Amino acid sequence: MHYISTRDANSTPAKFSDILLGGLAPDGGLYLPEEYPRISSETLDQWRSLLTEQGYAALAAEVLKLFIDDIPAADIEAIAARAYTFPKFSSEEIVPVTPLEDGLYIGHLSEGPTAAFKDMAMQLLGEFFEYELARRGETLNILGATSGDTGSAAEYAMRGRTGITVFMLTPAGRMTPFQQAQMFGLDDPNIFNIALDGVFDDCQDVVKAVSADADFKADKRIGAVNSINWARLMAQVVYYISSYLKITDSNEQKVSFCVPTGNFGDICAGHVAKQMGLPIDRLIVATNENDVLDEFFRTGDYRVRSSADTFETSSPSMDISRASNFERFIFDLLGRDANRVADLFGTQVKQGGFSLVDDPAFAQAASEYGFCSGRSTHADRVETIRDCYSRLGVVLDPHTADGVKVAREWAKEVDSPIVCLETALPVKFADTIREATGKDPEVPERFRGIMEAERHVVDLPNDAEVVKRFIAENIAGAAQS
């Protein structure tokens, strides 16, 4: 299994271990498998039994082996077994799937230590990083950006690990109090929280700018945990497969997935699973008011927004107007034309976006790849939360409510059951839950007292050079600690 860049398909193919620690390709592109592995009906039958008899970690190991051939199989199995354990995940199933109403299910991805779907990939990434660094005798300084949940999931996955330091950028004042408490309450010597004056896209731009400085990146051993890192998407493919297996009893059946998304990472994993041969019908993109992706799938125009034009909403993890992982899908949609992708994302996106309205390939987004989309507003999510609570006794977080709202709109258009992938537990978004239900969300026992912890965060300007200086100054201090 080899990996290539979305912007240079003719570059020397890399192995999994080579791309694990780096994130972006040297040319600024994103890594994808040279070819997607294919899964047969017989393999799905075997995995159905494996999931039932041995559980999620065993299934994860088998899926991971399809993408990794430079780590011994036994080590992959051990890594998956350490990543997906109970009670680190509060359900022994790791990813339960439960019915919400006729034809609509919830895939519960928030059973991990930070109550967000990001734990599904981050816990695995932490194990892989520590394993590979030990194997190489090296260290890694992780630079990431978060709009809400990536940061806490990464920090909880990496805290205390040997040879790893984390620098996490957040948009100042743009996360909920619970999300801030989860991150800023950590006092581990290898964790640094940085609040930038801007929105998530600004934080993401700084990460890319630092990564684009090849000398600094190499000298300071900068790595990535954001969804630009292929290993995260690879991990997320597993729960599409497990969810499919849980609600079907025959491989002749198809399942659709509705995914709340802003950065296109979570649903990009669904795209990969579909290309592998998982019987997925539709991949339904659900956005909030920051509807760049919905606009593209409806019109063919990918029109990125400025920071000033990015709305601050009650589903803040989706307050994103430049979807990094979208490049991976467009690479496939355009027949893996790396030169064209380099122009679209390396040049045109920086100038405001691009249009595929007149490109014959655009029609294939729906016809061949199964994508469709919808949009939700604050009023929509409040009403969806209220309805699910009062009528079904289920409390949804605002992002998952965006997904359920859009899934309900598409339910009458598709013939398959729809699994809406959960984003987080409601406890992270108390104000919106209180507005919708009149009650505070339940606080799981493992999070009691989190709001009282002392905060540890540094405010910095939205400036890549300032961030680089901060990283350089603190790497040595973290190592000495």
Q: Are 26 and 7 in contact (CB under 8 A)?
A: no
The CATH number of domain 97-112+236-437 is 3.90.1150.10 = no
For the chain, give every domain's residue range: 97-112+236-437
Secondary structure, 3-state, 167-217: EEEEECCCCCHHHHHHHHCCCCCCEEEEEECCCHHHHHHHHHHHHHCHHHH
Give residue for tokens 């992780």: 142
Catalytic one among 118, 208, 217, 274? 118
Long-range contacts of 363-366 (CB under 8 A, 24+ apart): 364/333, 365/297, 365/333, 366/297
Q: What are phi and psi of 302, to 5 degrees?
A: -105, 95
* Token reading at 180: 């801030």
DSSP 287: E
CA distance 162 to 62: 27
Residues in the chain: 481
User: Does the annotation mark 118 as catalytic?
Assistant: yes
Nearest 10 degrees: Cα torsion 370, 371, 377, 382 = 30
What does the alpha-carbon distance between residue 306 and residue 320 come to, in Å, rounded to a whole number?
A: 10
What is the dihedral angle through the alpha carbons of 76, 56, 59, 166, rounded to the nearest 10 degrees? -40
DSSP E strand stretches across 85-128: 97-101, 104-107
Query: CA-to-CA distance for 400 and 420, rounded, in angstroms?
Result: 7
- Report the distance separating Cα 69 and Cα 204, nearest Å: 31
For residue 135, give the nearest of 20, 294, 11 by alpha carbon. Answer: 20
Across-strand partners of 154? none
Spatial distance between the Cα atoms of 125 and 16, rounded to a whole number of angstroms? 13
DSSP character at residue 264? S
Q: Per residue of the chain (481 residues), what is the pLDDT tens digit?
A: 999 999 986 777 899 998 998 677 888 899 999 999 999 999 999 999 999 999 999 999 999 999 999 999 999 999 999 999 999 999 999 999 999 999 999 999 999 999 999 999 999 999 999 999 999 999 999 998 887 677 888 899 999 898 899 999 999 888 888 888 888 989 899 999 999 998 888 998 898 899 888 899 889 998 877 778 899 999 999 999 999 999 999 999 999 999 999 899 999 999 999 999 999 999 999 999 999 999 999 999 999 998 888 898 999 888 888 898 999 999 999 999 999 999 999 999 999 999 999 999 999 999 999 999 999 999 999 999 999 999 999 999 999 999 999 999 999 999 999 999 999 999 989 999 999 999 999 988 888 888 888 899 999 999 999 999 999 999 854 444 4
Mapping DSSP to helix (H, G, I), strand (E, B) and coil, where does residue 15 land? coil
Quick check: 410 and 258 in contact, CB under 8 A? yes
- The kind and range of the H/E element at 141 are strand 140-145
Percentage helix, strand, coil for the chain under 3-state DSSP, each rounded to 5: 50, 15, 35
**Are 422 and 108 spatial neighbours (Cβ–Cβ below 8 Å)?**
yes
Whole-number Cα distances in Å, 465 to 23, 92, 315, 460 = 20, 45, 30, 11
In this prediction the pTM is 0.91
